[in-house]
Amino acid sequence: MPSVQRAYTDFENKNISFLAISIDEGGAKEVNPFLAENHYTMPVLLDPKAEVFTKYGLVGTPGTFIADRQGMLVASSFGPVDFDRPEFRKYILDLAEDNNTRG
């Protein structure tokens, strides 16, 4: 999650959104202290019943989904993703630029 937070911080002024989804059954009572302790400021959707998790076909964590400005999924990955990788960051910036030129 540290690389997700860094990406969120680096891209938040570039019209790029990040949303973490927690399937922790303890909900906000357990998630919020973890976020505060680790200084995570990205938005987190609480999904304690794993409804979103199931809808997207996840069978394990973590999962990463990338949507364009129209909400269409353009990429997905199951397992850890290093959001610090230059290739990943370039992909995100190129996608954002492409979306900005289309509308």
Q: Comparing C-alpha atoms, which of 25, 20, 13, 17 is closest to residue 49?
A: 25
Peptide bond into 2 cis (omega under 30): no
pLDDT in tens, 30-62: 999 999 999 999 999 899 998 988 888 877 788
Q: Report if residue 20 sits inside a domain.
A: yes
Q: Report if residue 103 sits inside a domain.
A: no
Predicted local distance difference test score (pLDDT) of residue 100 = 59
Q: Report if residue 66 sits inside a domain.
A: yes
Per cent of the chain over pLDDT 90 is: 35
Predicted local distance difference test score (pLDDT) of residue 99 = 59
The count of other CB atoms within 10 Å of the CB of residue 7 is: 21
The mean pLDDT value for 21-27 works out to 90
Residue 50 domain boundaries: 2-98
Q: Which long-range contacts (CB under 8 A, 24 or more apart) does 92-97 make?
A: 92/7, 92/11, 92/16, 92/66, 93/11, 93/14, 95/66, 95/68, 96/11, 96/14, 96/15, 96/16
Number of domains making up the chain: 1
Residue 101 banded pLDDT, cuts 50, 70, 90: low
